[in-house]
Amino acid sequence: MVTEAAKVGAERQHLILRRALAERVVRIKDLATELGVHEMTVRRDLDALAEQGYLERVHGGARIIDKTSEELSHQLRATKDTEAKDAIARAALSLVQDGDVVALDASTTALALARVLHARKVSAIVSGLDAANVLAASGVPFLMIGGNFHAPARSFVGAFFTDTVARLHPDKVFFSAKAFHPDLGFTDPHLPEVGAKQALIRAGGTRVALLDGSKFGRRALATIATLDDVDVIVTDRDPDPAIRDACDTADVRLVTQEDQ
């Protein structure tokens, strides 16, 4: 059984890793002040993270290990807002029927759906290594589409990927985005991922966006799709009236965990 102290320690180390990714080097004094703990506690956290291969200890603090930074960034995204992602996955599963071929993008929200997909008799199309590993372990048959490897998302992108997807016709496509704004649609800052997501959306029969509520009303660098390009939005909480009205106008169905 995980103790409350262990949970707090894990959350604290998670925050330290996020700071190290952003600043490259973190200092014990600064972390102790920010986290409201004793410097000795921070030293123990840094030592633990160094033992796991994430950080290298330096005088007065630690620095991120370059070769692990991209993989670590993806891992931190996967562990962020896990309750919301799990709720979205459960709601999205209600849209999946036995016999479907479902396509999943390389987002961490789609990964949460991959973890529960074994509850249906389906096959899948995936572009992300993590989803492939999850499906392989749970016995769900899947097709892995290759291409250029995009390390930040542990996924495949590029011309080979998009050309291959264009010849496939999944029943349902599930994708996520960094942000959603009614005027701009679904947006994301990672351009290689934008092209891969667009290819999946074009190929799908029913196109489903998986978005936690924090992404509504925000915007990122590039548009993946507009509201007219999708059929369903699955989210963890009811959006504000302006977004609901925009979905009604575009005939986009909103599904939340409360609907289940």
Mean pLDDT rounded to a whole number for the chain: 88
- What would the pLDDT profile of 211-253 be if each residue is shown by its tens digit? 998 899 999 889 999 999 999 999 998 889 999 999 999 999 9
Q: Are the C-beta atoms of residues 189 and 221 closer than 8 Å to each other? A: yes
Residue 152, pLDDT score: 76
Domains of the chain: which residue ranges?
A: 4-77, 81-259
What φ, ψ does residue 42 adopt, rounded to 5°? Answer: -65, -40
CATH topology for 4-77? Answer: Arc Repressor Mutant, subunit A (1.10.10)
What φ, ψ does residue 255 adopt, rounded to 5°? Answer: -125, 125
Q: How confident is the model at residue 81 (pLDDT cuts 50, 70, 90)?
A: low
Question: Residue 9: is its pLDDT beyond 90?
Answer: no
- What would the pLDDT profile of 65-78 be if each residue is shown by its tens digit? 765 555 555 555 55
pTM value is 0.74
CATH architecture of structural domain 81-259:
3-Layer(aba) Sandwich (3.40)
Question: Residue 1: is its pLDDT beyond 50?
Answer: no
Fill in the DSSP letter of residue 214. Answer: G
